[in-house]
Structure 1
């Protein structure tokens, strides 16, 4: 896959997820305008995650049945419709309907990642997934900067109007610039693909990486869905545009993890994951100092987003090898954990901040990070009774050696030569 196509898919991912997270820096004026009480403001973000969860279960499997290029274009067009509905909403339920629709079809991200994985040679899969996935983080964090600036000048509705126009434009570019996939394997029907999602939860690697993602993005959501509230409050009392600027710090941290895909290609997925999760826990020590120091907050944000991006890219790289013929379904199933974790973090942080302040939100975020580290550690300590997924040449070599050892053991037990 060339640079132009990788870049296009990264932009598609960025614009799609921006629609879910664009409300984060404008929760207060958006909630006030729509009549949403402050303690329930987190649901403005969480409702997009609920729609996203539905899309993961019902829409992502389509990528294993139909041409992903056309699917990406259709999803972008429907996302534009949801953004338009939100921008013109006069009541909270109308805005929620638009956000839910945009969230459901924002699963175009998983279709784009699956497309990149399916057209990439194995030695470059991690690199391409890393580049395309970087668009997700750029969309989540970069949207905060743009949202704050637009909202201060033209109001929060202008953000969703701009996203609608961008989505339609990208739908046209996808049809023009991306080739259709060439699939030699026969495609299963939609029903069979959806049902097969259930079988993934019985696979240790899938379940482990899914649980790590659940706690990882619960911690991520705790920060970014709750950050605007203490920054707008005393002693800082920052405007929407200034709050949005903190997205630059997160963007710097996430882009700093650009080599995560290559680390996974080199077979270092497991130790890199452990190190990144340790950094995630430590980042909350700095983030908790928000009431006293904005500089320490910036440091914490950079470290947190670096850690999140490293783990997220590594997870998807590993899981794309579970079923090469069902990449969309595997990544979609994994992202169910992402969606549930993000929604939990978004809903919980605003409620906890209202009752216990930023200290309560920080303890919550650190707790989620510690749970992700615990899942990784337990998986490393427990004996493996299956052949691990290949992750580049090193992991493939280890998997082959383990399989050969098992064959020799069975041959010795049966008395026949190996």
Structure 2
């Protein structure tokens, strides 16, 4: 193994570049959420059909997490990241020039699969950083990812107001190519030794991790269910705001700026987890998630209550997500990339399920149906948390030690 002293040092400009690239990749999957009403109108499809693009983006991202992120343990992550970003740029370009819904769906799917470059960059940064700066570097890049997701909806709405709904996809395609070139020129070659295992063996190890680590299963399920709950709203809010309150794409996009407050909850949850109070952070976030559905229900006809509920929901989601990550990353440090793949795959599958359910209940039952579905997912999240709390018993946590011991006789 290469000693840490021989690795190139990451200066602040490179870290910020990686953070920006991560935010652009992840945020690209959220461009469509404030634009659904305009997409439905301009491409001559129903609102529920337009909303299917949200599910397509999330399912595609989940596939990329399973099929592509683990490859980072096998190849040069610099080459992998740049290649994925260029392919994601192609998907954004196809979306931007789509003449019909089928083409748009293909473009969004391609962009979604390859946008997992974001999840390759994060462990790459951790491997390049000096030990005393690793947490700071990863934290900065994770902040870039979060901010990119939060700003994506607002930027999409603003650009739609200037040049139509497809503008954001065209701009994103150009920016991703520029960012890929910048990363190629700035990042060092990832030349460290790697286990000589096949691609299929690497994928199979994901199943071994999920099977052997109960804490990974419960935390992944909690993340997926919480994201499903909030995604019921993310998928249908454009229809509510456009129909009930007469908002245009720009105004709908600006609502997404409320989510910036989620970054503050991420910081609070991270600090609590660092102090050994991850369960407290999780419990507080889940309480907020349960409570937000009352103002959401009232918000169907009162805008102020909707905005309050939207803020609370995003705070809750970030609190659950960050406390989950803090716990799972400590389970098997040497398999952190694959642990992340298992968790994030479940996380975005949950989002896809929530989006699909939200679209169906909106069509059949309106906003009240969306709120009931979101509340049901939230209650399920709390139920899984109660199971997870039992795993705090050191005896029950022996699964990770068992996996590490067994891994000595096989490659992770």
TM-score range, shorter chain: 0.7 to 0.9
State yes or no: 1:338 paired with 2:360: no
Identify the residue that residue 31 of structure 1 maps to in structure 2. 40
What TM-score comes out, normalization by structure 2 length?
A: 0.88
Of 304, 309, 326, 1:300 maps to: 309
Q: Deviations over 1:130-161 (max 9, x none)?
A: 43223333222211111111112211111100
In the TM superposition, 1:258-337 aligns within 5 A as: 258-337=267-346
CA distance in 2, matches of 1:167, 1:389: 41
Identify the residue that residue 166 of structure 2 maps to in structure 1. 157
SS in 1 for 2:266: coil
Matched-pair contact (CA < 8 Å) for 1:123–1:265: no
Of 228, 232, 235, 2:238 maps to: 228
Matched-pair contact (CA < 8 Å) for 1:10–1:135: yes
SS in 2 for 1:183: coil
In the TM superposition, 1:28-177 aligns within 5 A as: 28-120=37-129, 127-177=136-186
Identify the residue that residue 9 of structure 1 maps to in structure 2. 18
Q: 1:73 to 1:19 in 2, by over 3 A?
A: same
Q: 1:122 to 1:211 in 2, by over 3 A?
A: farther
When the two chains are superposed, the root-mean-square deviation of aligned CA atoms in Å is: 2.3
Identify the residue that residue 7 of structure 2 maps to in structure 1. none
What TM-score comes out, normalization by structure 1 length?
A: 0.86
Q: CA deviation at 1:185?
A: 5.9
Matched-pair contact (CA < 8 Å) for 2:218–2:387: no
Matched-pair contact (CA < 8 Å) for 2:262–2:314: yes
Q: 1:3 to 1:29 in 2, by over 3 A?
A: same
Matched-pair contact (CA < 8 Å) for 1:18–1:140: yes
Matched-pair contact (CA < 8 Å) for 1:137–1:309: no
Q: 1:78 to 1:385 in 2, by over 3 A?
A: same
CA distance in 2, matches of 1:6, 1:369: 35
The gaps in structure 2 that reach 5 residues or longer are 1-9, 402-412
Q: CA deviation at 1:288?
A: 2.2
Q: Deviations over 1:316-346 (max 9, x none)?
A: 2322233333332221111111111111111
The gaps in structure 1 that reach 5 residues or longer are 391-398, 400-418
